[in-house]
Amino acid sequence: MTIDLQLIPGFKPHPVRDFVYVQGPTPQGFRDFMETLQKIPGVQGPTSGTARFLEQMLTTPDGEFYFAVALTSDKLGWRNLLQAHAQRDHMQLAEIEGTNLLIGGSKRVALEHCELQSTMGVPTL
């Protein structure tokens, strides 16, 4: 099945939002992750804005799930908080770079080999 790259959050730049993908074991595991986000001592977290699950996930050819999150306002603060929680839980962040999913800053997976799926949403933080 061919994936329509235009449908992938973050494939096209957005003027207000940044997009990050958070690795998760299952949709429920990701819901739990998002619901328990909180400040971590020593981590410069967000001062404004939201991290909103977009109800979509990418599945890589090796079966890993990456859940799309839109960041607004203090995007760096949200990214820092997500990264700290992901590291704590032994997960990785990914982002769209060209036609690839860039995982952990070094591993690239061609988006054409991924599957985009809709999943149930989780609360906006």
Q: Could you read off the pLDDT of 81-124 as tens digits, one per residue?
A: 999 989 988 999 999 999 999 999 999 999 999 999 887 544 44
At residue 2, what is the residue type? Answer: T
Mind listing the pLDDT tens digit for each residue in 4-57? 888 899 999 888 899 999 999 888 888 788 887 877 788 888 999 999 888 899
Q: What is the pTM of this model?
A: 0.87
* Closest to 10 measured CA to CA, from 111, 69, 72, 96: 96
Distance CA 102, CA 105 (A): 6
